[in-house]
Amino acid sequence: QSVLTQPPAVSGAPGQRVTISCTGNRSNIGAGYDVHWYQQLPGTAPKLLIYGNSLRPSGVPDRFSGSKSGTSASLAITGLQDEDEAEYYCQSYDISLSAHVVFGGGTKLTVL
Amino acid sequence: QVQLVQSGAEVKRPGASVKVSCKVSGYTLSQLSMNWVRQAPGKGLEWMGRSDPEEGEASHAQNFQGRVTMTEDTSTDTAYMELGSLTSEDTAVYYCAIMNVYNSNFPDWGPGTLVTVSS
């Protein structure tokens, strides 16, 4: 079971808006650590999509946005496109035990 | 732009060890924080740990304590991850990934190395 909780799956039609939640606790997101998001296409390595809660690396479309509040964070995708169908992971830092870096369990986005 | 090239797929027997390499180009390995992340088939990402010889310490996730060794050869800019006492649950794709030390994210990833543990 992952330290950060994500819904297993979300879906949306092309052009729609979807959100993916990432819920942590007071030892990770709630402790003030940044949340980062990754997109993983089948058979490929994860790609950094959002860092520092809401910042986009160069080349990431502004259709992708991130936010954080309290012990949770969210990834929003607007104007959904077929190529957005992928697995999405959140990641943060945790001060408990030795699991310094923690990932969410992943969310499969299906474009209908 | 940093590039990471990993060693090829491996098949190991239960109880054996595996050593995966990750060669860095575009930067000097000693300038980077090299981490290892694995992904079992159909499962999520699991952080294994990082090596940081410059700070003189390595950090491993509790699940791998005593079973994993992460080393670096700065003469060839190659990082290594060795995992011992393999079981079928260690079957996974192993990624090397560079950590941005300022905010602990991973902007650069290797392509992954599939390790299959089977009798």
Report the length, in residues, of chain A: 112
Question: What tens digit of pLDDT does each residue of B65-84 get?
Answer: 889 999 999 999 999 999 99
Residue A101: which of B47, B65, B110 has the nearest Cβ?
A: B47
Are residues A45 and B60, on separate chains, in Cβ contact within 8 Å? no
SS3 content of chain A, % helix, strand, coil (to 5): 5, 45, 50
Within 8 A of B41 by CB-CB distance, chain A residues are none
**pLDDT tens per residue across span A85-108:** 999 999 999 988 665 899 999 999
Answer yes or no: do B111 and A48 touch at CB < 8 A.
Answer: no
* Over residues A42-51, mean pLDDT: 97
SS3 of residue B101 by DSSP = coil
Which of these, B44, B115, B15, B57, lies nearest to A107 by C-alpha position?
A: B44
Instruction: Dig out the tokens for A110 from the structure.
Output: 């299906």
B61 residue type, one letter? A
Which stretches within chain B are classed as H helix?
A: none
DSSP one-letter string for B52-67: ETTTTEEEE-GGGTTT
Within 15-34 of A, beta carbons closer than 8 Å to B belong to 33-34
**Nearest by CB: A48 against B45, B59, B107:** B107
The residues with which B46 forms a beta bridge, in sequence order, are B38
The residue type at B67? R
Instruction: Return d(Cα B41, Cα B66) in angstroms, integer.
Output: 24
The mean pLDDT of A9-28, rounded to a whole number, is 97
Alpha helices of B6-76 — where are they, by DSSP H? Answer: none
Q: What is the mean pLDDT of each run of 10 residues along chain B (119 residues)?
A: 96 98 94 94 95 68 89 94 97 96 92 97
Candidates B35, B44, B104; nearest CB to A106: B44
| Amino acid of residue A30 | G
Residue corresponding to tokens 């169908």? A85
